Structure 1
Amino acid sequence: MASSTGPEPVSMETYWKRRVFVMAGLFAVLALVAYACSGPSDTGKRAAGVDGSGDDNVSASPTPSPSKKPSPSPDPSASPSKSPSGSPGPDGGEPGGGEGAEAGDGASGEPGGAGGIAAPKKPEDPCRPADVVVTMKVDKTDYAWDQKPKVALTVTNTAKQTCTVDVGPKGMEVRIASGDDGVFSTAHCAKGAKAAERKQLRRGEPVFKTVEWNRKRSWSDCRDKDVNANRPGTYVATLHGDYSGGTGTKVFRLN
């Protein structure tokens, strides 16, 4: 009669080996499942993007929208000029920024410069102060008792258009003072034909004017014409009028 015997007992070493093999197999299966479920590798995606065959690359590139044709900017030369060209302003900068806004262009036809003088269109028109450069000098800085001071004016038009400047005793008034005492003015008693002296100035051609002071005092009411102003001391000559800007003062001494 055969005896029934149970399974032989398994050693601990065999038990743990079996456990390790089972766990390794399980991890292998999980790795295969994870690999099968994952998408294409990054390398495949990059390859598809390079050769342009991938659908993702096509959808990611937006269809370029047609560029709008820029509207043409207005051509400055297309607009008709309202008045003839002039010239740039005097040394120190141009009043305007463009070809049609320079000091002598007068493109707008509006008054410009000091005194509201419009841009000249013909030689008889007055020059704009911004287009005229005036310099003033005295022939000496120290005068003997019998010498008469002379004030020299140089007037130059910088505009292209020939225009007119009054270099007379009122248009370009020379004043001489000793301290606060106004001793002499060319505008005093200037009447009639002697009150104005209009000169037409072409561009860059200076006009010269000399005022000689006879060392006598003058008054606006023309009284006491023969009163001498021969007091020794320091005197100052200044220029007044529409075109006097930038001339400054000239100092001299009478002995």
Structure 2
Amino acid sequence: MEIDTDGDGGRYWRRRVLALAGVLGVVVMLAWGCMRGTTEEPVSRTVAEAATPPPPPTAMPTVTVTVTTTPTPGDDGAACEDDDVVVTLGAAEKSYTGGEKPTFRVMVVNTAENTCRFDTGTLDLRITSGDDRIWSSAECRDGDAGEESLRRGVPYVREIVWDRRRGCGGDAARAGTYVADLHDRKGKRRVFRLG
């Protein structure tokens, strides 16, 4: 029996080989296309994302609330609280010679919101020398002590002059060192000298 290589049988195998080669070519092309698409897709996505500008920041409006409290003057009916009153004592000089009379300045400031009444009779300036009490402005006051209406931050100033005598019109005080302080008000004192 002879094998016909040039007849219909040869053509049959050629067609089979070409069909197989065509199928393999299509498979290779599909595989190449799939691989190429998976490697380039992230790159193209990254480039696209980089080319897109980020969204603008959302601006939130800033709201500032300022509360201003205006002190109300009040009706001057309430007495000043001790915690709302600042009292300072100052002296004109540290030394007084000859007939100079020691002069002191008392300043009272209301720090409360409302106007209040301050009893000036509570301002008792005392002069001492050691344990010896020499003089008191409350005891030797000219006229009655009154009440002052104190508005917030507006100082009440009172000048107190000592006549250099013991008690009210007693003997003249001797030369030496003395202390002036506001009775019942801590830390308000001045040391001075009579010559």
Please give the range of the TM-score, normalised by the shorter of the 2 chains. 0.5 to 0.7
Matched residue, 1:127: 80
Greater relative contact order: 1 or 2 (C-alpha under 8 angstroms, separation 6 or more)? 2
Pick from 153, 157, 160: which aligns with 1:211?
Answer: 160
Distance in 1 between the 2:178 and 2:75 partners? 40
1:181 aligns with 2:132: yes
Structure 2 unaligned residues grouped into runs of 5+: 1-68
Task: Classify 1:228/1:188 alpha carbon distance in 2 versus 1 (closer, same or farther; 3 Å).
Answer: same
1:251 aligns with 2:191: yes
1:161 aligns with 2:114: yes
Query: How far did 1:195 drift?
Result: 3.3
Q: Secondary structure at the residue paired with 2:105?
A: strand
Structure 1 unaligned residues grouped into runs of 5+: 1-84, 88-120, 220-224
**1:73-115 Cα distance to aligned partner (Å, 9 max, x none):** xxxxxxxxxxxx998xxxxxxxxxxxxxxxxxxxxxxxxxxxx
Query: How far did 1:139 drift?
Result: 0.5
Q: Secondary structure at the residue paired with 2:76?
A: coil
Task: Classify 1:173/1:150 alpha carbon distance in 2 versus 1 (closer, same or farther; 3 Å).
Answer: same
Distance in 1 between the 2:167 and 2:101 partners? 15
Matched residue, 1:201: 150
Conserved? CA contact 1:86–1:159, under 8 Å: no
Q: TM-score, normalised by structure 1?
A: 0.46
More strand by share: 2
Pick from 125, 137, 140: which aligns with 2:93?
Answer: 140
Q: Which residue identity lines up with residue 208 of structure 1 in the other structure?
A: V
The alignment yields a C-alpha RMSD, in angstroms, of: 2.4
Count of residues paired in the alignment = 126
Distance in 1 between the 2:101 and 2:181 partners? 17
- Identity, in percent, stands at 38
Matched residue, 1:48: none
Matched residue, 1:228: 172
Query: How far did 1:227 drift?
Result: 1.8
Q: Which residue identity lines up with residue 117 of structure 2 in the other structure?
A: T
Q: Secondary structure at the residue paired with 1:252?
A: strand
Q: Secondary structure at the residue paired with 1:195?
A: coil
Q: Which residue identity lines up with residue 181 of structure 1 in the other structure?
A: D
Q: Secondary structure at the residue paired with 1:130?
A: helix
Q: Which residue identity lines up with residue 166 of structure 2 in the other structure?
A: R
Conserved? CA contact 1:124–1:200, under 8 Å: no
Task: Classify 1:232/1:246 alpha carbon distance in 2 versus 1 (closer, same or farther; 3 Å).
Answer: closer
Distance in 1 between the 2:137 and 2:70 partners? 32
Distance in 2 between the 1:236 and 1:143 partners? 13
What stretches of structure 1 move > 4 A for 4+ residues in a row? none
Task: Classify 1:138/1:189 alpha carbon distance in 2 versus 1 (closer, same or farther; 3 Å).
Answer: closer
Q: Which residue identity lines up with residue 105 of structure 2 in the other structure?
A: A
Q: TM-score, normalised by structure 2?
A: 0.59
Distance in 2 between the 1:137 and 1:190 partners? 19
Structure with larger Rg: 2
Task: Classify 1:205/1:149 alpha carbon distance in 2 versus 1 (closer, same or farther; 3 Å).
Answer: same
Distance in 1 between the 2:81 and 2:75 partners? 12
Query: How far did 1:160 drift?
Result: 0.8
Conserved? CA contact 1:86–1:161, under 8 Å: no
Distance in 2 between the 1:200 and 1:141 partners? 32
Task: Classify 1:206/1:197 alpha carbon distance in 2 versus 1 (closer, same or farther; 3 Å).
Answer: same
The 5 A counterparts of 1:1-255 are 122-167=75-120, 170-190=121-141, 194-218=143-167, 225-229=169-173, 231-241=174-184, 244-247=185-188, 249-255=189-195
